[in-house]
Structures are given as C-alpha cells and as structure tokens.
Amino acid sequence: AQTVTQSQPEMSVQEAETVTLSCTYDTSESDYYLFWYKQPPSRQMILVIRQEAYKQQNATENRFSVNFQKAAKSFSLKISDSQLGDAAMYFCAYRSIGQGGSEKLVFGKGTKLTVNP
C-alpha cells in the first residue's frame, strides 16, 4: 500500500518570502500522480498543483512550484512571494494510474502554514 509522509506539522513564513513544504511517499508503482491540495478554514479542498510521475519537468503554477525527485520519492512544494491568503493546511496526495490502479487519493497528515504580515 502507498503511504504519504509530511514531516512538518507546522510551518510559518513572512509575507513576500518563500517557503518549502516537504512530502515523501512510498510506492512500488512506476507511474502515478502526485498532488498538493490546500485546505483553508472554509474546509474546501483546493487543488494547488499536480505532477505526473513520468514527467521529469517539475510542475509550476504561478507562485507555486514543485521539486519532484522520483528516485528519492520526494515531492516538495515551494511557495514564492507568500501572501496572507496562502495560510491554510496543505496536504500532499498520491494517486495510482493505469489499469487496476485505485483511483483513491492517499493523503499525508498535512502541514499547517502560517503567513506572518
């Protein structure tokens, strides 16, 4: 079974600075998807960024980028120019791909990000 580990229960960053959230995972599959979701106090899970494992190029979405290290099974999220609205719980998630793979998401325990003005 796949597992996802987020080793930082809490992180803080100054507004306009850069912060990196860590995520590692364990799987025997060669192809899969990885996601970062954001959950603000409203409880709505919002997709931040996604990465397909066979793609070597790191995904980027505006101020959000990932450092995907497949051999190390690492998938960190970098938030540049942090804004007050970035404050939320961030969850790293894994999903299988391909025939016979489960469509469910396996989540890490989350990292609470605080943005200080």
Partner 1 sequence: SAVISQKPSRDICQRGTSLTIQCQVDSQVTMMFWYRQQPGQSLTLIATANQGSEATYESGFVIDKFPISRPNLTFSTLTVSNMSPEDSSIYLCSAKGTGGWTEAFFGQGTRLTVV
Q: Which is nearer to partner 1, 42 or 117 (CB)?
A: 42
Q: Could you tell me which stretch among 21-29, 59-67, 70-78, 107-115 binds partner 1 (CB under 8 A)?
A: 107-115
| Tokens (6 digits) for 6 | 């987020």
Which residues have a Cβ under 8 Å from the Cβ of 76 and sit 6 or more positions away? 20, 21, 22, 23, 66, 67
Beta bridge partners of 105: 95
Residue 55: half-sphere exposure toward Cβ, Cα within 13 Å = 12
| Candidate segments 14-22, 64-72, 73-81, 106-114, binder of partner 1 by CB under 8 A | 106-114
Q: Which long-range contacts (CB under 8 A, 24 or more apart) does 59-67 make?
A: 64/36, 66/34, 66/36, 67/20
Q: How far is the CB of 22 from partner 1 (least distance, A)?
A: 15
Q: Is 68 in the site for partner 1 (CB under 8 A)?
A: no
| Shortest Cβ 76–partner 1 spacing (Å) | 18
64 binds partner 1 (CB under 8 A): no
Q: Which of 15, 17, 29, 52: binder of partner 1 (CB under 8 A)?
A: 52
CA distances, 112 to each of 12, 14, 91, 97 (Å): 8, 14, 9, 28
Question: What residue ranges bind partner 1 (CB under 8 A)?
Answer: 33, 35, 37, 42-47, 50, 52, 91, 95, 97, 103-105, 107-110
